[in-house]
Amino acid sequence: MKGEVFSLDIPGLHIEGLRWRLGPRPILALHGWMDNAASFCRLAPLLQGYDIYAIDLAGHGHSGWRAADVRYHLIDYAYDVSQVLHALGWSQCVLLGHSMGAAVASLLAAAQPDRVAQLILLEGLGPLTSSPERSLQHLQDAFSVANQPIAKVSSLVDWNTVSLRRQQTMGGVTQQAAECLLQRSLEQVAGGCRWRSDRRIALSSSQRFTEEQVLNILSGIVASVLLIVAIEGLLLKLPTLTKRQQSIPNLQRYDLPGSHHLHLELSSVQAVADTILAYAGG
């Protein structure tokens, strides 16, 4: 079941995405880094009872790019999502996030607890962190590429080559799953394909939270939280996962078979959907 295309405008940015109308309960779905709204093309049709909006975050998929003088910072994605909720006219909703999208959802749920009724996190709980001793290195790395020209139009790429590379960078995701994302990440042009995403989303961040800051932020989440962890995924490698869980007053964790993109793989997506529906009372 393919999603219905939708679009909306928020201050300074055009947002596009996919929608699945399966019921009255609103869900806003946020994809991971370098992914897009199609990340939910297999999970969303299984979530009966919900009206699911999956957006392409800024610089990804079909959504707009930030201005040439603006960088991509994680906290700014949270501001964008708050503006999307306003544009949709939602006073409150369920937030569903995968990986980076889970980090963004965590930040917004803490910053605006009255806007988030439930928080469903797939393979993510808060943002990446760094020690204070690494602050200078992050700053220097970011400035080292700050003045490098970034082409507005990417060069042509071969579909098969990109598909293989996508599998490798996504931690072993199958080609079939990778192609779900590539349909929205690439555009067909004469002579091949071209990336839609802004290359600046891959640049080094100039600053990261410390772990202590993240623990403090997570403590502000009052919504009930469902955390789904993939047994063969990436989140289990986070050494502070237990401390992060303990920072949230109302969190339930489920470990399911699957990889980092377990919501996109045919072998694991049904279990993810069943867990969400059982938790949310669907």
Does some domain include residue 127? yes
Does some domain include residue 218? yes
- On the 0-12 / 13-18 / 19+ scale of CB atoms within 10 A, 98 is buried
What 3-state DSSP class applies to 14? strand
Quote the CA–CA distance of 80 and 91 in Å, as a whole number. Answer: 15
Does some domain include residue 188? no
Does some domain include residue 201? no
Domain with 112, as residue range(s), is: 4-133+208-280
* 3-state helix/strand/coil string of 134-195: HHHHHHHHHHHCCCCCCCCCCCEECHHHHHHHHHHHCCCCCHHHHHHHHHHHEEEECCEEEE
Residue whose C-alpha is closest to residue 26's, from 48, 54, 51: 51
* pLDDT tens across the length of the chain (282 residues): 689 999 999 999 999 999 999 999 999 999 999 899 999 999 999 999 999 999 999 999 999 999 988 889 999 999 999 999 999 999 999 999 999 999 999 999 999 999 999 999 999 999 999 888 888 887 888 787 766 655 544 555 665 566 556 655 655 677 777 878 888 888 877 777 778 889 888 887 878 899 999 999 999 999 999 999 999 999 999 999 999 999 999 999 999 999 999 999 999 999 999 999 999 874
Looking at the 3D structure of the chain, how many domains does it have? Answer: 1
State the CATH number of the domain containing residue 40.
3.40.50.1820
Identify the residue whose tokens are 């919504």. Answer: 223
Q: What is this structure's pTM?
A: 0.92
Quote the CA–CA distance of 47 and 27 in Å, as a whole number. Answer: 10
Does some domain include residue 8? yes
Does some domain include residue 197? no
- Beta carbons of 59 and 36 less than 8 angstroms apart: no
Cα four-point dihedral sign 96, 101, 107, 111: negative
